[in-house]
Amino acid sequence: MKKLTTPKELRDLQAKIKESVNPDKSRIIICAGSGCLAYGTKKLIDGFEAEIEKQNLQDVVEVRTSGCHGFCERGPITLISPENVFYQKVGLNDAAEIIEKTVLNGEVIDRLLYVDPQTGEKIVHENEVAFYSKQTRNVLGSNSKIDPTKIEDYLAIDGYSALAKVLTESTPQGVIDEIIEANLRGRGGGGFPAGWKWDATRKAQGTPKYVICNADEGDPGAYMDRSVLEGNPHVVLEGMLIGAYAIGSSEGYIYVRNEYPLAVANITIAIEKARELGLLGENILGTDFCFDVKINRGGGAFVCGESSALFASIEGRAGEPRAKYIHATDRGLYDKPTCLNNVETWANVPLIINKGAKWYQGIGTENSKGTKIFALVGKINNTGLVEVPMGITLREIVFDIGGGIPKGRKFKAVQTGGPSGGCIPEEYLDMPVDFDELTKLGSMMGSGGMIVMDDRTCMVDVARYFLRFLEEESCGKCTPCREGVHQMRVILDRICEGNGQEGDIETLEWMGQAIADGSLCALGGSAPAPVLSTIRFFRDEYEAHIKDKKCPAGVCKDLITFTIDPETCNGCRLCFKPCPTDAISGEKKQVHVVDQEKCIQCGACFEVCKFDAVIVK
Partner 1 sequence: MPDKVSLTIDGRTVDAPAGSTILQAAQRANIYIPHLCHNDELKPYGACRLCLVEITHGKRTRQVASCIYEITEGLEVKTDTERVKNVRKLVVELMLARNPKHPAIRKIASKVGVEKTRFAVEIKGCILCGMCIRTCREVVGVNAISYKSRGFLREVATPFNESPTDCIACGSCAYVCPVDFIQMTEKNGVRTIWNTEFPLQKCKKCGRDIAPEKQLEYFRKKVNLPENHFDTCLHCR
Per-residue mark of binding to partner 1, 518-557 (x: CB under 8 A): xxx-------------------------------------
Residue 329's SS3 state is coil
Answer for which of 178, 216, 306, 473 binds partner 1 (CB under 8 A) is 473
Burial 468-478 (b: 16+ CB within 10 A, else e): ebbbebbbebb
* CA 506 – CA 531 distance, rounded (Å): 12
Restricting to residues 195-234, which ones interact with partner 1 according to CB under 8 A? none
Interaction between residue 511 and partner 1 (CB under 8 A): yes
Least Cα distance to 241 among 230, 231, 232, 250 occurs for 250
Report yes or no: 504 and 494 within 8 Å, Cβ to Cβ: yes
Burial 177-192 (b: 16+ CB within 10 A, else e): bbbbbbbbbbbbbbbe
Torsion angles phi and psi, residue 560, rounded to 5 = -120, 155
CB closer to partner 1, 130 vs 318 = 318
CA contacts within 13 A on the Cβ side of 504: 25
Minimum distance from CB of 506 to partner 1 (Å)?
A: 11
Least Cα distance to 166 among 175, 157, 158 occurs for 175
CB closer to partner 1, 64 vs 257 = 257
CB closer to partner 1, 303 vs 553 = 303
CB closer to partner 1, 134 vs 322 = 322
Vertex 95, ends 94 and 99: CA angle to 5°?
A: 115
Answer for which of 482, 536, 550, 557 binds partner 1 (CB under 8 A) is 482
CB closer to partner 1, 11 vs 322 = 322
CB closer to partner 1, 252 vs 321 = 321
CB closer to partner 1, 165 vs 482 = 482
CB closer to partner 1, 481 vs 569 = 481
Interaction between residue 486 and partner 1 (CB under 8 A): yes
Answer for which of 150, 165, 477, 536 binds partner 1 (CB under 8 A) is 477
Answer for which of 133, 507, 581, 590 binds partner 1 (CB under 8 A) is 507
**432 DSSP β-pair partners:** 393
* CA 481 – CA 19 distance, rounded (Å): 58
Residue 505's SS3 state is helix
DSSP 291: B
Restricting to residues 135-164, which ones interact with partner 1 according to CB under 8 A? none
Interaction between residue 581 and partner 1 (CB under 8 A): no
- Piece of the chain touching partner 1 by CB under 8 A; list 202-210, 286-294, 395-403, 470-478: 470-478
Per-residue mark of binding to partner 1, 325-364 (x: CB under 8 A): x---------------------------------------
* CA 529 – CA 525 distance, rounded (Å): 9
* CA 603 – CA 591 distance, rounded (Å): 19
Least Cα distance to 147 among 159, 138, 133 occurs for 159
Write down how long the chain is: 617
**420: CB partners within 8 A, 6+ apart:** 189, 219, 444, 446, 522, 523, 526, 527, 529
CB closer to partner 1, 530 vs 552 = 530
CB atoms within 10 A of CB 363: 17
Minimum distance from CB of 477 to partner 1 (Å)?
A: 5
Per-residue mark of binding to partner 1, 288-327 (x: CB under 8 A): -------------x-x--------------x---xx-x--
Interface with partner 1 (CB under 8 A): 301, 303, 318, 322-323, 325, 471-480, 482-484, 486-487, 490, 507, 510-511, 513-515, 517-520
